[in-house]
Amino acid sequence: MIEKSPFYELSKKYSIDVAYKPFIRVVGVSLKEFRAQRVEILDHTAVIFTSRTTVDSFFHICEEARITVPETMKYICQTEAVALYLQKYIVYRKRKIFFADGSFTSLIELIIKHKEEKMMLALSEPHKPELPETLAKLKLAVDPVILARTVAADLEEINLGDYDLLALYSPSDVKALIEKFGTENLPAIAVFGEGTLRAALDAGLTVKANAPTPIAPSMAKAIDIYITKLRKGETIEPVLLTVDTVKEEFIRNQQHKLSKKPRIRKTTK
């Protein structure tokens, strides 16, 4: 385990074993699958990336289709890590690569700043509908396109009886878990993200820890709090899904701003 990992710190703090067992893997779509979506890359002036996987798939599709991406193309990324990953394929230039801080609201604000561009939104399937739905509500010129698909990993060698807690990071993790092991007699469940929590609860799973929250911004912190309560003998209530009123208010405010017509000053002769 990497010593700088927050899970390494957890393992030392509580003398526990942490195993990394991916339930899913992500693969890029084929050129045929891409073309079936009838989206032309060169009709766009900007691409929105939320993950490195879609970056790889985008440039792989361009190479296979012999598409030369113009130097004027802009790239809008959810995080700095994704933005820096673009250096694998292009020269990093601040005037054409932009990144948010990883939050949903920051990405939306960044996209709005470039609303004059004709944008392509690179997605993995399945994905949270929140981003494309919000961009549609805001009536921005964005074309969603599936560039990667999530498939189940080989789970044959995993024995759930060896674990006291499972950390799930996506709805696809939830789906893979249930398809292989069902919903009965599972270890405690921790989830990351609203979409993952919703998928887990909809499937009938009991969730004992979740992130991000104000007190647990990371999965490691959520698990830290869970273990602390467990060892103190405290009652750990199941996690329930709550409506993010702050996010909904943010979207309404952005809709209102974009619906305002710009004022034209009258010039005096």
Sequence spans of domains, the chain = 6-23+154-244, 26-151
Q: Residues near 77 by Cβ (< 8 Å), separated by ≥ 6? A: 48, 49, 50, 83, 86, 97, 98, 99, 100
CATH of 6-23+154-244, one of 1.25.40, 3.40.50, 2.60.120, 3.90.550: 3.40.50
CATH topology agreement for domains 6-23+154-244 and 26-151: yes
The most distant pair of C-alpha atoms in the chain lies apart, rounded to whole Å, by: 83
- pLDDT tens digit sequence for 219-264: 999 999 999 999 999 999 999 887 667 777 888 888 878 877 666 5
d(CA 147, CA 48): 12
- Can you read off the two tokens belonging to residue 58? 């985008």
Q: Cα 17 to the chain's mean position, in Å?
A: 27
Average pLDDT of the chain, as a whole number: 90
pLDDT score at 263:
60
- pLDDT tens digit sequence for 168-217: 998 889 999 999 999 999 999 999 988 899 999 999 999 999 998 889 98
Average pLDDT of span 10-35: 92
Q: Cα 168 to the chain's mean position, in Å?
A: 13
- Can you read off the two tokens belonging to residue 132? 């494309």
Note whether 142 and 111 are within 8 A (CB): yes
d(CA 173, CA 175): 5
- pLDDT tens digit sequence for 47-69: 999 989 999 999 999 999 999 99
Pairing, β 142-152 against β 24-28: antiparallel
pLDDT score at 127:
82
| Phi, psi (rounded to 5 degrees) for 52 | -70, -30
- Can you read off the two tokens belonging to residue 55? 């970056």
Average pLDDT of span 148-173: 91
Note whether 100 and 77 are within 8 A (CB): yes
Record the pTM. Answer: 0.69
CATH class of 26-151: alpha beta
Whether residue 138 has pLDDT greater than 60: yes
